[in-house]
Structure 1
């Protein structure tokens, strides 16, 4: 039966670097996650399948498009994925990889109005990706996300909050992290804001006073520092005295 696509549904594409995250066990949860956001237009997974024939069989049975990439040169999989993703016409792009080449992709995708979600391994993910993507998750978060589907309804990706609301969320997130004696590194605070406040779905959900968008979470933090709302030392955030007393 051919699935009917509602005009209200967002188109979703997945691009999975299997050489970076080689685990067929997450495939079903990825599909459930992507399906909850809209209609899956692409579900591509990249590797040298001559060396991964069993994994290819499992993924193909779930209708993944297994793109074979020969090892003609270093980072051939990365190059092929970037080329394919660059021409994507979906509304939401999910990248399953933690490699630094995703930085190049994210900027271009967001400039074309797409929402970018990244899933990465906790130990190997580039810290910069947490600040660049609209939403960043670790692969280990998938089971909980699928169980709690209301946490990632597609409509929430397009909700907006104003700058003052975002500052309020930021201050509360820093306070929460400090109370729990957690690190206040930018990526952690960005994720904590998403966990604590459903309206906040990454920096693209913040409307600047002039109607523009912050390019990344770091730019939002820079604005908050200039306005005297928070302090920053290296990659860690701290509260100014007035905000700490008000929290």
Structure 2
């Protein structure tokens, strides 16, 4: 699989603004049409460095997102929790970590109409960064719309950008070799255990995507096997590592050996 995400690099004054997308797919459904539309829109704002899509695999209507996120090179953050705001809380935590991190986005695009994200937008603006909100008509809170630097309804974007099929060049993602990916996995498991966290697929995948030692890891589809092919899903990568005897799975959690 290929992706639209470009390699992470340190930004200089002469480079384009760095852009990240934070997508609440329970509020704005994840579809191929919406994915292409938002990527095209983001590329008009600067250089797109990451797309994180938050979903709950326990919900039937989230099945499409679960199976197709890596196809587009997006980082899927699965929050399979019955609590109402669990996915929203994870989005907020990741958003704040990114904007206060080593490579904060100059432009953060929040794809949601949920008024609970007002504080996120205000935090972004306090740092002198730009916050753009994209939402569906009839599903947006005025309080969120009022604080955004720019606000657009999803159906307005086709008039603002030229949506075209994602070219191979647009979708090229830096790959991470298999051995480095294994080291990244083990590092993530150790980190989770040291913080008293569970080592489920979703938690480990999230920790790996935030690894400073392995910035090229952007999902299972970026792991290059020794034969030159790539994994189609994160779980297949984990299964391969377990088969080698480097980790073991127990009750859907990863353990060191």
Q: Is TM > 0.5 for Structure 1 vs Structure 2?
A: yes
Distance (whole Å) between structure 1 residues aligned to residue 143 and residue 83 of structure 2: 26
d(CA) in 2 for partners of 1:73 and 1:137? 29
Aligned partner of 1:74 in structure 2 is: 84
Is residue 21–residue 120 contact of structure 1 (8 Å, CA) maintained in 2?
Answer: yes
Other structure's SS at 1:56 match = helix
Q: Which runs of 5+ in 1 are unaligned?
A: 149-247
Structure 2 unaligned residues grouped into runs of 5+: 99-103, 164-257
Q: Deviation of residue 19 (structure 1)?
A: 0.4
Secondary structure of 2:108's counterpart equals strand
Q: What residue in structure 1 maps to residue 16 of structure 2?
A: 9
Offset, 1:4: 8.4
2:134 pairs with one of 90, 95, 119: 119
* Structure with larger Rg: 1
Instruction: Output the CA distance in 1 between the equivalents of 2:97 and 2:58.
Output: 27
Q: Using the TM superposition, name which of 139-148 and 124-133 deviates more.
A: 139-148
Q: What is the deviation of 1:3?
A: 5.1
User: CA separation of 1:57/1:28 partners in 2, compared to 1, >3 Å: closer, same or farther?
Assistant: same
Q: CA deviation at 1:55?
A: 2.6
1:109 matches 2:119: no
Change (3 A) 1:101 1:59: same
Could you tell me whether the CA contact under 8 Å between 2:131 and 2:148 is conserved in 1? yes
Per the alignment, in what secondary structure is the counterpart of residue 18 of structure 2?
A: strand
Residue in 2 that maps onto 1:38: 46
After TM superposition, the structure 1 = structure 2 runs for residues 168-187 of structure 1, keeping only pairs within 5 Å, are none
- By relative contact order (CA 8 Å, sep 6+), the higher-ranking structure is 2
Contact kept? 1:98, 1:125, Cα under 8 Å: yes
Partners of 1:96 and 1:104 in 2: how far apart? 15
Q: 1:140 matched to which residue of 2?
A: 155
Aligned residues: 149
Deviates more, 1:64-73 or 1:15-24: 64-73
Q: 1:58 to 1:134 in 2, by over 3 A?
A: same
Partner of 1:94: 109
Q: Quick check: 1:28 aligned with 2:43?
A: no
TM-score (norm 1): 0.56
Over the aligned positions, Cα root-mean-square deviation in angstroms equals 2.3
The separation in 2 between residues aligned to 1:4 and 1:17, in whole angstroms, is 23
